[in-house]
């Protein structure tokens, strides 16, 4: 993937967007919305909005939200989702460990799925979702990828996602995990796959 094909807006892009949002003339507002609505096509043919929304903090009680989740923060997350859709931003990034239920939190995938469902009760929206597989030490074999993905799909309330990634390199079994990603594509559970938090050396070693 070329650097210009990155699906998330760069820091520079975000700064430009923030600056442009201060301009109140109608022509500039329309121009900004058109820019946000532009989509970038990755090598897989998947199209997503240039700007994506990360949902790590949604439901989280281990790093964000002052270690607690309440109705006020739920309302804020829902408001952020709706505002994104209103602006034409339809690409959302989540993961099975964001707001992990093991800590007593509400899973980010579950919240995103709920927000999508509630919005679609009002209007038809096409949302692109990226989520991730946690390479936990007790997960073995390519089948663990499919099992985790299907659980994520259940939480999201969808039959497939646009992008599924290995969240980080595993202690072992990375070759099997990559095979599992291939299985996910073949089974129609995901349109594109990738890795996250992999160095160039780590990825090369896994592929060889």
For residue 91, what pLDDT band results from cuts at 50, 70 and 90?
A: very high
The band of 76, judged by pLDDT with boundaries at 50, 70 and 90, is: very high
Catalytic residues: 98
Q: Give percent of the chain above pLDDT 90.
A: 62
Using CA atoms, how far apart are residues 183 and 142, in angstroms rounded to an integer? 8
Of 93-97, 143-147, 185-189, 197-201, where does mean pLDDT reach its minimum? 197-201
Name, of 14-23, 63-72, 77-86, 171-180, the range with top average pLDDT.
77-86
Residue 100 has pLDDT above 80, yes or no: no
Beta-bridge mates of residue 49? 39
Stretch 77-96: mean pLDDT, rounded?
Answer: 97
Q: What pTM was computed for the model? A: 0.79
Q: How many CB atoms lie within 10 A of CB 65?
A: 19
DSSP 87-151: TT--EEE--TTTT-GGGTPPPHHHHHHHHHHHHHTTS----EEEEEE---TT--STHHHHHHHHH
Q: Which domains does the chain have, with CATH numbers?
A: 3-207 (3.20.20.100)
pLDDT recorded at residue 42:
62
Q: Are 163 and 149 in contact (CB under 8 A)?
A: no
- Asked if residue 69 lies in contact with residue 59, where contact means CB atoms within 8 angstroms, the answer is yes
Rounded mean pLDDT of 78-99? 96
Q: What is the average per-residue pLDDT within 156-173?
A: 95
Which pLDDT band holds residue 25 (cuts at 50, 70, 90)? very low
Q: Is 90 exceeded by the pLDDT of residue 41?
A: no
- Predicted local distance difference test score (pLDDT) of residue 165: 97
pLDDT band at 94 (very low <50, low <70, confident <90, very high): very high
């Amino acid at each position: 993937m070329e650097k210009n094909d990155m699906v998330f807006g760069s820091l520079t892009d975000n700064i430009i967007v923030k600056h442009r949002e201060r301009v109140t003339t109608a022509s500039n507002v329309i121009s900004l919305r058109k820019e946000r609505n532009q989509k970038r096509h990755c090598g897989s043919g998947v199209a997503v909005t240039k700007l994506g929304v990360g949902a790590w903090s949604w439901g989280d009680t281990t790093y964000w939200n002052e270690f607690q989740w309440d109705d006020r923060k739920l309302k804020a997350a829902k408001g952020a989702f709706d505002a994104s859709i209103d602006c034409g931003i339809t690409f959302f990034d989540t993961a099975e460990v964001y707001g992990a239920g093991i800590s007593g939190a509400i899973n980010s995938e579950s919240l995103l799925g709920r927000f999508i469902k509630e919005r679609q009760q009002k209007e038809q929206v096409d949302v692109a979702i990226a989520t991730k597989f946690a390479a936990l030490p007790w997960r073995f074999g390519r089948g663990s990828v499919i099992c985790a993905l299907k659980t994520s799909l259940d939480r999201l309330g969808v039959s497939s996602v646009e992008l599924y990634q290995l969240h980080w390199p595993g202690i072992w079994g990375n070759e099997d995990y990559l095979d599992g990603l291939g299985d996910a594509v073949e089974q129609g559970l995901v349109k594109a796959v990738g890795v996250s938090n992999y160095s160039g050396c780590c990825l090369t070693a896994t592929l060889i």
